[in-house]
Amino acid sequence: MRGLRDKVVVIAGGGSGIGAATARRLAEEDARVVIGDLSANAARSVARSIESAGGRATGLAFNVRDTASVARLMQVAMDAFGRLDALHVNAADMGAIREDPDAAEISFELFDRTIAVNLRGHLLCTQQALPHLLRSAGCAIVYTTSESAYIGEPTRVAYAMSKSGLNALMRHVASRWGRHGLRANAVAPGLTLTEEVDRSLDPELRDKSLAEVHSTRLVSPQDVAATVAFLLSDDAASINGQVISVDGGRTMRA
- Contact between 15 and ligand NAD by CB under 6 A: the answer reads yes
- Contact between 92 and ligand NAD by CB under 6 A: the answer reads yes
Cα 104 to Cα 150: distance, rounded to the nearest angstrom = 20
3 or 59: whose CB is closer to ligand NAD? 59
B/e letters for 79-106, b = 16+ CB within 10 Å, e = fewer, are eebeebbbbbbbbbbbebbeebeeeeeb
Q: Which residue from 40, 197, 210, 239 is in contact with ligand NAD, where contact means CB under 6 A?
A: 197
x-or-dash string of contact with ligand NAD, 46-75, rule CB under 6 A: ----------------xxxx----------
Least distance in Å: CB of 105 to ligand NAD?
A: 21
Which amino acid does the sequence have at 45? S
Residues 175/215, Cβ–Cβ less than 8 Å: no
Quick one: which of 206, 188, 19, 202 has its CA closest to 98? 202
- Contact between 17 and ligand NAD by CB under 6 A: the answer reads yes
Cα 148 to Cα 43: distance, rounded to the nearest angstrom = 27
- The catalytic site residues sit at 159
3 or 84: whose CB is closer to ligand NAD? 84
Least distance in Å: CB of 18 to ligand NAD?
A: 4
The β-bridge partners of 36 are 12, 60
Answer left, alpha or beta for residue 211, where phi above 0 means left and psi between -120 and 50 means alpha: alpha
Which of these segments, 50-58, 130-138, 170-178, 187-195, binds ligand NAD (CB under 6 A)? 187-195
- Note the residues at the interface with ligand NAD (CB under 6 A): 13, 15-19, 37-39, 42, 62-65, 90-94, 117, 144, 146, 189, 191-192, 194, 196-197
